[in-house]
Amino acid sequence: MLITVEDCWLQLVQGDITLQEVDAIANAANERLAGGGGVDGAIHRAAGPTLMEETSREYPDGCPTGEAVATSAGSLTAQFVFHTVGPVWRGGGAGEEQLLRGCYRSCLELAVDHELQSVAFPAISTGVFGYPIDLAAEASLDEVRQFLETHRRPSLVRFVLWSEGNFGAYARVLEEMVS
Ligand code: ADP
């Protein structure tokens, strides 16, 4: 599914984020940037050990929730990995939505700073961190759309949803957004 926002593309695909041919992929990391399972494990496995070497060297204090840091991307086809830390879902009253929006915004700011054309995102916080998928879809798609409306770049933002269920949830929200 693909829509345009100003002169940019906002795209949803089902698949594996490590295989995307884009300038940067976002990683759903933890505050210590310590490595983990889920999408983080997949990205580190595909990129190789240089990714962890670089995060430990450049960001020994980790990364706060809602923010993002950039590294190179090892063996991936992407040039950069943006490590961003989503909130753990605690029922919705602990600022989770603003923190989740902050993840997407911070990564898009890094993309603009590095003059990149294309960025791919996973559904941050929707795995082990427990953020309800429908609410995550609403917040993340709205934040990306607002960013593209304001900044008119990067040219392509692609959400890569691992499961059919997650893809369906994002597609329903995006359809409502354009109707
Ligand atoms: P978090 O701790 O932020 O919840 P997870 O890695 O547990 O991060 O999950 C985030 C989302 O990433 C989940 O929806 C999960 O299905 C998805 N995911 C897992 N592996 C991949 C992959 N290779 N590509 C894209 N998305 C993935």
Residue 61 bears catalytic tag:
no
Tell me which residue has tokens 């059919």.
Answer: 164
- Domain of residue 39: give its range: 2-178
pLDDT, tens digit, 9 for 90 and up, residues 65-92: 999 999 999 999 999 999 999 999 999 9
CA of 123 to the centre of ligand 1 (A): 6
150 and 3 Cβ atoms separated by less than 8 Å: no
What is the CATH classification number for the domain harbouring 15?
3.40.220.10
Residues with CB under 6 A from ligand 1: 16-18, 28, 38-40, 42, 86, 122-129, 160, 162-163, 166
CA of 176 to the centre of ligand 1 (A): 24
- 107 Cβ partners below 8 Å, 6+ apart? 24, 26, 68, 82, 84, 119, 121
CA of 69 to the centre of ligand 1 (A): 18
> Alpha-carbon Rg of the chain, whole angstroms?
15
Residue 179: pLDDT above 90?
Answer: no
SS3 12: strand
pLDDT, tens digit, 9 for 90 and up, residues 29-59: 999 999 889 999 999 999 999 999 999 999 9
What is the C-alpha separation between 146 and 148, in angstroms, rounded?
Answer: 5
**Model-level pTM?**
0.98
Number of domains in the chain: 1
CA angle 84, 38, 158 (to 5 degrees): 55
Residue 17: pLDDT above 90?
Answer: yes
pLDDT, tens digit, 9 for 90 and up, residues 133-167: 999 999 999 999 999 999 999 999 999 999 999 99
